[in-house]
Amino acid sequence: MAKVQLAYEKSIDYLLSQAFKFWYWLGCKLEVTITVPPASPETQETLARLVAENDELKAGIEHQLSENRKLLDKISRMEDTWGEAVVAKPKTGPQRPNNNRKLTESEVQEIRDRHRAGEKNVDLAYSFDVNPATISRIVRGQYHKKLAVA
């Protein structure tokens, strides 16, 4: 019977699996002794310090979450009390006042010219900071109908 002694430096599972495979391949019985060094005082102090720091972080996070909940409640009460006068949400899309257009006529013309030159809608959308669907609608004449579509 062979005896193998492993140090607790590598993954024990990996070392055991390799040892068992090797000895099984040789057809031998295997007796394994694992020696784990006792925890040193430095290790125990480090562990205690890390546990204390973790508890401090947990308390800090819980405090911040509590403060966040208080602010959300305050905002909700303000919305209930004052409505949009105090906590107005910005209007976007079709609800925007006067339905302001984001692109000027010259930009629309440039989009159509660059599209005719072969530039992709996605690239045009990125350069004008709009959705690719908007570019497609401009190119097809659904948007900005006043401008001539050639």
Residue 150: inside a domain: no
What residue type is assigned to position 109 of the chain?
Answer: Q
- Is the model's pTM score more than 0.75? no
Note the pLDDT of residue 120.
92
Q: Which two tokens stand for residue 107?
A: 């930009």
Specify whether 100 is located in the same domain as 134.
yes
Note the pLDDT of residue 50.
87
- Number of structural domains (the chain) is 3
Residue 147: inside a domain: no
Helix (H) or strand (E) holding 141: none
Q: Are 32 and 6 in contact, with CB atoms under 8 Å apart?
A: yes
Contact residues for 67 (Cβ-Cβ < 8 A; gap 6+): none
Specify whether 97 is located in the same domain as 117.
yes
Note the pLDDT of residue 32.
58
∠ Cα 49 42 59 (to 5°): 5
Q: Are 28 and 2 in contact, with CB atoms under 8 Å apart?
A: yes
Residue 109: inside a domain: yes
**pLDDT exceeding 90 applies to what percent of the chain?**
13
Render pLDDT for 18-71 as a digit per residue (tens, 0 to 9): 777 776 777 776 565 666 666 677 777 888 888 889 888 888 888 998 999 998
Specify whether 97 is located in the same domain as 136.
yes
Residue 132: inside a domain: yes
Which domain, by its residues, includes 126?
93-140
Place of tokens 């006529």: 105
Q: Are strands 30-35 and 2-7 parallel, antiparallel or unpaired?
A: parallel
Q: Which two tokens stand for residue 30?
A: 């295997």
Residue 6: inside a domain: yes
